[in-house]
Structure 1
Amino acid sequence: MGRPKGGAAASSSASSKKPKPKPKQRGGVDFKKYKHKVGRKLPPPKNATSTEIKSKTIVLPEQSMASERAGMAVNKRGLTLRELLQQTAHYNANVRRAALNGIKDIVVKHPTELKLHKVAIIEKLQERICDTDKVVRESLYSILQSMIFPSLKEDNAISTRSTLFLLMANILNGMTHLSIDIQLMAFRFLELVVLNFPSSFSSYAEQAFNNFIAVLSNDRINLHDRNKLNSVLSGLGHCLSLVAKTMENDDISNRQVHDLSARELWKCTSDEDNSVGRAFAMPNLLVKLQSLVQILINSVEVSASELCAKSAIDASSSEALLSALHCLDIICRIFIHEVKKPQLRFSISKTQFGPDWLRSSLLIHLKNLWGVKRLFHEKEDGKFFIFNLKIAEIFLCLSAWIDSTMFPAEEFCHFVSSLFAKQAKTLRNKDLMEMYLSPIITCIPDLIFNAPDDSKEHLLEAFTDAFRGCKVDCKLIFPYLDAVGEMLLPEKTGTWFAEDGSGVLGYHDVWIHELPRILLQSIDKAPSVTKVVLELLLRIGQYFPTLDCENLRPFIKLFGVESSSGAVELGPFVNLARDCQELATSCLYYFPSLLPDIIGPLASCCLSDALEPLVLFRVVEVLQSTYKAGSLQITELLSFLLLLMARFRVHPGGLVTSGNPSKVSNWDTFKSLNRLILTSLSEMGDGSLVLELMWNNLSNAIAKKPSMHNMNGLFRIIVTLDAGTNKLMNEDAVKLIAGYLVDASLDLSKTIEGGFQPDKTRLFQYFIKPCTIMFDKNDKVLCSTLEMLKSFITGDDHLLSSLSNFNYPGELSCRVCAVTTILIFLCNDRKLHRNLSFGKSVIKGILDYIRHQLGSSGPNVTYEEKQKLRSAFEQLKTKALQLNCWDRSELEGLSITR
């Protein structure tokens, strides 16, 4: 073995050495070392310095933030409007959201803040239109819609215009933003501005339509976010509607401007509130609309293919397709409006946007919709049916420019006919049916007029069936009635459909036959329809004077129904509105063949208390005009007038003065009716002949002893036609005259206490006026009446049974006073003195009878009665002496023995 190496020997020698002991510390131990467990907190050193500060709160009232905000409007978080507006530009979206909510809170609690700082608020908030946060944009939209815009409408035009300029600048900027969501939201803001301030749109129309074209042409949106287009299409529809409305207003203004003075013209042009907006730059606008047509049609085609491939239609896709079709419809109407003008404004040539352009450009684009229509036609869903209704509406407004080379007319008419046939089965929603079918009905007259004759039959039949099936309380009844009126009458189109030889005439009777049915049903269910139907009936009567009224026979039920027994059940005429009553009354003139059956029910309506006086007078005037035109028999008119005079009820039934309207509400009405009837009778020709025609009915009416007012009217008829007629020379007529006079006198005597009452005296004179005229013309009638009055005093029972409507007065004094009153009034009329002289023997006999009763000592004559008899005797004797037909010696023996 060799010697060990030096390294090994060294290590062994080192390990064999012992470690050196540590030197001991001198003195005591300064720090004691502790062993602590892991994780245990060390206690502080004993000599550690405490840094804890203890102090009391220092309150400085003058420096408090609350004192600085005293009296200021703050939100729930205590922030002012200025602070919130500053926070709307904060980099944190949550802060911006909270700031907008705080502004809404302040405006609700402190409305004056919005009025004072409106401009400052809008200037700051309009920056958020392009905000990257969706919630912030939605909050801004809500604030503008519910708070700021309603308040902004109350301001003057100058401040509003400057504020809207700021808003529109940011909205137009947002429409071109790189973010699709911001773009789409900007179109919603544009729609909001257009709805609230339509006059401001014309300044930005060109740029706005450029942005519409850009966003609708964006494939990213069309392919991936088609549902997001609803807001864009909705806004486009409102903007297009605004253009169409402005064009209509411009036409009206152009027609009226030559009638305005310079000052009025300046006022109209300077006042923006009187118009929808300034005129659009039509040349550039029409070009842009032409571009929109192709874009919208492509969108409709793609949407239609996708919807037909789906098993179920989602609401947003359906809404987008309907909005696109609606925009196409408005654009077509704008172009048609321009084509129909005599010359286009702004130096546009007729060849650029004229009828040829419609056929070569617009209709070529629209031809693709025909294929879309076929896709929808195969579907049974109500949504697809609505799509077809909208497509049909587009083509119907262009029906005048469509020829068979583009669209087969027969196929198109069958298409529209199928819509009418399927509408009741497919559209169960009443509101949708009224909304989408109404424009189709409105266009039917133009389609029928322009379509070839061999293509109209199916359409007319389908339209007529739908018209029959339409309920009166459905809103579709109005366009149906308008369409029927347009096809019956040439008022709107200037064209007689009956002259085109197309078979329309065969449906006229069917449509007219439906009108009375609709009229009668609408009175209770749809009063607004009643006036429309009556106006249409009136126009039909005016345009067709030789119309066969058999189809209108149910019209009679409007006034009432007369039973076989003669009783009349009143119709709804008396309860109609005043204007409807006027229309129905005017219709009577044009439907004379119905009058014989209407006269009876019409008279009952006129006698109803529910009928206003002016309507009553109007009925009489219309019937009089109908008679003068030769359309009403004189006997029918006489019967009607006599019935009114004999049966009109004056309220109350007793004799009261006209000066007391609380008791008599319709006496003045009866007097006016009386004058109107008498005027009508006097215009019919020879009075004696007219009286001859109506004498039997007149005498029968008098014999029934109606009220005194009616009797007075009947006697006035006799006086008006022939006061001296010999027909009064019979015992029955004289009895009726005498009884009438006694009735009037007895009523007057009831109120005489200590002398005549002036009002009653005038009323009595009114009642006996027709009798005095008859007595003046016929002395024999006067003498016979005096004899009858004498018999009444003496108590001749066989004559008294038919004299008076009042209970027969048994007291002699009552009978004497009644007759004395009559004779005194007759003697006061100087015209009767000569004829009264022929009856002086009768008067002397009455005086003899009274004197005899005064001298009698019978128990039936009391002292009070004798006093009344003596007063009546003296008054009658005094009046008799004034007749100048007596000798003094004749009356000397008539003195009363005291």
Structure 2
Amino acid sequence: MGRPKGGAGEASKKPKAKPKQRGGVDFKKYKHKVGRKLPPPKNTTNTEIKSKMIVLPEQSMASERAGMAVNKRGLTLRELLQQTVHYNPKVRRAALNGIKDLVTKHPAELKLHKVAMIEKLQERICDSDKVVRESLYTILQSLIFPSLKEDNAISTRSTLSLLMANVLNGMTHLSMDIQLMAFRFLELVVLNFPSSFPRYAEQAFNNFVAVLSNDRIHLQDKSKLNSVLAGLGHCLSLVARATDNDDASNRPVHNLSTKELWKPTLDEDNSGSSTFATSDVLTKLQNLIQILVNSIEVSASEICAKPANDAPSSEALLSALHCLDLICRTFVREAKKPQMEFGRTKTLFGPDWLNSSVLVYLKKLWGVKRLFHEKGDDRFFIFNLKIAEIFLCLRTSVDDTMFSSEELCQFVSSLFSKAKVLRNKDLMETHLGPLITCIPGLISNAADDSKGYLLEAFTDAFRDSNVDCKLILPYLDAVGEMLLPEKSGITFTEHDSGISEYHSTWINELPGVLLQSVDKAPTVTKVVLELLLRIGQYFPTLECENLRPIAQLFGTKSSSGTVELGPFICLPHDCQELAIACLYYFSNLLPDIIKPLACCCLSDKLEPLILFRIVEVLQSTYKAGNLQITEQLSFLSLLMARFDVNRGMACTQEDARKMSNWNTFKALNHLILTSLSEMGDGSLVLELIWNNLSNEIARKPSPHNINGLFRIIVTLDAATNKLMDEDVIKLIAGYLVDAARDLSKTIEVGFQSDKTRLFQYFIKPCRIMFEQNDKLLCSTLEMLKSFASGNDHIFSSVSNLDYPRELSQRVCIVTTILVFLFNDQRLHRNLSLNKTVIKGILHYIRHQMDPNVPDVTYGEKQTLKFAFEQLKTKALQLNCWDRSELEGLSSTT
């Protein structure tokens, strides 16, 4: 290699300076002192920008949301749904609260987007935040589910399938809190949409078995366990209800195709009665029995060991017993089914399986009840009630060797005895009812030596129960089943020595229950009346001596002799019908009831239909030979004489039609007359009823009632000589005068049609009596002649009105009566026989028209002249008159 050129000396040489360029200078460089503020240069450009802000309203976010449904934070439903999946739980909580606020303010949003809401919100069922899950539960319960019920069944089913998928997923979650909350969601779905449960029943019960088998839930707060058991109870109730519906429908299953069996109908979708009875579901329920019995046994020991009352533990134990009871009821009904169903053999879930697989676990429960029986607290009594209810359900499907019938009767009777001293009566009313309904079946299967103390305990409890107590209806149902076996199908041996002696005791308690229930418990009144009616039909020869208090239902006699109306008058229509029907079968009570019953019939508060029904029932009772004829005649005459029509004789026919009371009286009149005509020979019936008629006539009832009494006489025997009594003749004459008073005012201008028809109605019975009895007609005409001449002290007005003092008015009244009698061709013969009286009336009128008669004005004479000519013309139509006899009579003055 060669040595490099140059050296240190050469490297140290400086480069040569360039020569300065000659020419002009562009910028002059100044040297300034440090820290001095320089003035702005004169040649600088101002780069400062000045602007004004322009606000355009149409470009704001608010304008984009105008008319949209938003919550109080201004967020739409879509934005809120998007925020429900935010990673921050606080945002998710706020989103759910915002959805609730928005839907409350804008209900239309819920109707339009409820499906989208469920699709988005169902993901929050397994949310890790407890507040989020609770908020979702509230939204579903109060907003979404009520709106979803309004949709049709098909759309609802598809929507719920999405929700149920997450519910079932949550029931198997690793977190215990999420599991328990999922069971709450299941309970919510079951309560609102029961028809959707059968499709998920097997999975749900499998999850119930898993969670209840986990010891962790028993170590949790007992309220959480109670929540799971409450949901299980609702699900089991649907299974039990479906089994009940299967028993109620007598359609054989093997006649239906599989497609028909699984085809949901509208009723099934609404009631939740779809098919549950598959072998897998029953197997799951069998597993639940073992789990529940073990849980009950452990919980019972814990509760008994605690000195203080643990309310959550007691409630959880009661829920477990309730679930066990529902499972047992389902198994018993399944064991009774004789048909083959879904390929299931007859013996797979039959009675043998019930004894071998189910009752093995329930033996432990029998020991638990002994543990509770030693305690005196009310809650232990309730536990034993539920245990007794379970064994009473199983009594018909188990052998007596497993559970002694005698021991069961002793156990149940001890519970009735304990109920007397129970402090918490509300608790007793809630839980004792199911036990009472099982009593008839237990007694029918028990031996005579073991049923005695049970009947005694039941009877004492029934006697001590109040009518306003919830248990009175179960007691009455049980009594009805034991008194009337055909009602329930429960058979008792004829002349059963163990139960027949209690029949009269139960029946004797019914009148007291009836009278107390009228004011306190109206629903009980109907039940008691129905029971009394069936008793009367079933025991026609029953002694009614102890049933006499029933008469107080219709009325009671006071110390002064008057009748005070009873509560019958205020009963509902259906209860009144039942009470009246009872009278037919308890005819021995009618002597005490007939007078108060008549007073009820005369009350304005009684409906016409009930009034007519009473008359018909009493007439049927008389025809059956269970009512004396004198009592029936007294009842009918009293109704006819004292029924208040509430209208005067002067009312027009148009006014009469407006008053239902008038139409009611006419219908009652017809019914009474029909009943009297059915009693046999009219003259004999009149002889029996005459004293009643005379007493009522002496009271001077209203003209309408007298008309009814006259019609009774005409119907029975119009030619009777009893009418020739002087008082009766006075009454007839006064009745005719009262009836003609208003009509006589129109004599000069022509009779008015409506008033004429009314007068014809009143005069009709008298016309028939005059046709049958000419002597009665003669005596009545003599009375009318005396009235026309001013001698009216011999009879008084029926209407208690003063008679007119003017002569012309009296003559017009008599003329009106005679004209109507002359117009009836059937009376011409009897009128001809009394021409002397008629001629005397004409002579008197002619005499009063004489100018020499004082105190008769010109106007009155003109009225007398018109009446005279009219009466004379009608008299010439009679066959007995010769024109020459009346030629001497002239009205010319």
TM exceeding 0.5: yes
Question: SS at the partner of 2:849?
Answer: helix
1:886 to 860, 865, 881: 881
1:159 to 155, 158, 174: 155
Unaligned segments of structure 2, at least 5 residues: 1-33, 38-47
2:235 to 232, 236, 239: 239
Counterpart contact for 1:73–1:80, Cα < 8 Å = yes
Taking a change above 3 Å as real, the CA distance of residues 640 and 264 of structure 1, as seen in their structure-2 partners, is: farther
Match of 2:610 in 1: 615
- The answer as to 2:470 corresponding to 1:475 is yes
Taking a change above 3 Å as real, the CA distance of residues 344 and 334 of structure 1, as seen in their structure-2 partners, is: farther
Give the Cα separation in 2 of the matches to 1:768 and 1:519. 48
- How far did 1:489 drift? 0.8
Matching residue's letter, 1:773: I
Taking a change above 3 Å as real, the CA distance of residues 888 and 752 of structure 1, as seen in their structure-2 partners, is: closer
2:705 to 705, 710, 713: 710
Matches within 5 A, 1:478-497: 478-495=473-490, 497=492
2:175 to 170, 179, 204: 179
1:579 to 574, 580, 588: 574
Give the Cα separation in 1 of the matches to 2:838 and 2:654. 35
2:450 to 455, 462, 466: 455
Question: SS at the partner of 1:569?
Answer: strand
- How far did 1:407 drift? 2.6
1:339 to 335, 338, 345: 335
Partner deviation per Cα, 1:534-562 (whole Å, 9 max, x = no partner) = 11111111111111111211100011112
Give the Cα separation in 2 of the matches to 1:366 and 1:230. 21
Which has the higher mean CA deviation after the structures are superposed, 608-617 or 309-318? 309-318
Give the Cα separation in 1 of the matches to 2:124 and 2:365. 41
Give the Cα separation in 1 of the matches to 2:104 and 2:792. 93
Give the Cα separation in 2 of the matches to 1:613 and 1:578. 11
Counterpart contact for 2:703–2:798, Cα < 8 Å = no
Give the Cα separation in 1 of the matches to 2:615 and 2:183. 64
Question: SS at the partner of 1:151?
Answer: helix
Give the Cα separation in 1 of the matches to 2:35 and 2:133. 63
Partner deviation per Cα, 1:25-71 (whole Å, 9 max, x = no partner) = xxxxxxxxxxxxxxxxxxxx9899xxxx9999967758755554444
Matches within 5 A, 1:140-155: 140-155=136-151
Matching residue's letter, 2:225: L
- How far did 1:594 drift? 0.5
Partner deviation per Cα, 1:218-259 (whole Å, 9 max, x = no partner) = 122234555421121111111111112222334445549999
2:734 to 722, 725, 739: 739
1:169 to 160, 165, 171: 165
Which has the higher mean CA deviation after the structures are superposed, 759-768 or 334-343? 334-343
Match of 1:29 in 2: none
Which has the higher mean CA deviation after the structures are superposed, 862-871 or 174-183? 862-871
Taking a change above 3 Å as real, the CA distance of residues 249 and 889 of structure 1, as seen in their structure-2 partners, is: same
Matching residue's letter, 1:355: P
Match of 1:248 in 2: 244
- The answer as to 2:647 corresponding to 1:640 is no
2:670 to 667, 675, 691: 675
Matching residue's letter, 1:153: K
Question: SS at the partner of 1:561?
Answer: strand
- The answer as to 2:201 corresponding to 1:205 is yes
Give the Cα separation in 2 of the matches to 1:500 and 1:218. 56
2:106 to 100, 104, 110: 110
Question: SS at the partner of 2:485?
Answer: coil
Question: SS at the partner of 2:432?
Answer: helix
- The answer as to 2:714 corresponding to 1:719 is yes
Give the Cα separation in 2 of the matches to 1:636 and 1:259. 61
2:310 to 314, 327, 331: 314
Matches within 5 A, 1:848-863: 848-855=843-850, 857-863=852-858
Give the Cα separation in 2 of the matches to 1:525 and 1:611. 22
Taking a change above 3 Å as real, the CA distance of residues 501 and 132 of structure 1, as seen in their structure-2 partners, is: same
Match of 1:18 in 2: none
- The answer as to 2:863 corresponding to 1:868 is yes
Match of 2:545 in 1: 550
Taking a change above 3 Å as real, the CA distance of residues 271 and 643 of structure 1, as seen in their structure-2 partners, is: closer
Matches within 5 A, 1:637-786: 637-661=632-656, 664-750=659-745, 754-786=749-781
- How far did 1:348 drift? 2.5
Counterpart contact for 1:249–1:275, Cα < 8 Å = no
Give the Cα separation in 2 of the matches to 1:270 and 1:413. 44
Question: SS at the partner of 2:117?
Answer: helix
Question: SS at the partner of 1:400?
Answer: coil
- How far did 1:803 drift? 8.2
Match of 1:348 in 2: 344
- How far did 1:726 drift? 2.2
Match of 1:501 in 2: 496
Unaligned segments of structure 1, at least 5 residues: 1-44
Taking a change above 3 Å as real, the CA distance of residues 398 and 751 of structure 1, as seen in their structure-2 partners, is: farther
Question: SS at the partner of 2:625?
Answer: coil
- State the superposition RMSD in angstroms: 2.8
Partner deviation per Cα, 1:44-102 (whole Å, 9 max, x = no partner) = x9899xxxx99999677587555544444443444433333233223332232222222
Which has the higher mean CA deviation after the structures are superposed, 607-616 or 558-567? 558-567
- How far did 1:629 drift? 0.7
- How far did 1:106 drift? 2.4
Partner deviation per Cα, 1:632-657 (whole Å, 9 max, x = no partner) = 11111011001111111111244312
Match of 2:184 in 1: 188
Counterpart contact for 2:332–2:397, Cα < 8 Å = no
Counterpart contact for 2:194–2:270, Cα < 8 Å = no
**TM-score relative to the length of structure 2:** 0.90
Which has the higher mean CA deviation after the structures are superposed, 497-506 or 838-847? 497-506
Give the Cα separation in 2 of the matches to 1:374 and 1:271. 44
2:71 to 62, 71, 75: 75
- How far did 1:477 drift? 1.3
Partner deviation per Cα, 1:276-321 (whole Å, 9 max, x = no partner) = 2531252221111111111100000000000101111222211111
Match of 1:833 in 2: 828
1:100 to 79, 93, 96: 96
Matched length: 847
Give the Cα separation in 1 of the matches to 2:327 and 2:864. 99
Matches within 5 A, 1:371-410: 371-410=367-406
- How far did 1:845 drift? 1.2
Question: SS at the partner of 2:564?
Answer: strand
1:137 to 133, 138, 142: 133
Give the Cα separation in 2 of the matches to 1:787 and 1:256. 87
Taking a change above 3 Å as real, the CA distance of residues 761 and 69 of structure 1, as seen in their structure-2 partners, is: closer
Counterpart contact for 1:74–1:81, Cα < 8 Å = yes
Question: SS at the partner of 2:761?
Answer: helix
Which has the higher mean CA deviation after the structures are superposed, 499-508 or 205-214? 499-508
Give the Cα separation in 2 of the matches to 1:804 and 1:86. 90
Counterpart contact for 1:687–1:722, Cα < 8 Å = yes
Counterpart contact for 1:651–1:665, Cα < 8 Å = no
Give the Cα separation in 2 of the matches to 1:64 and 1:831. 105
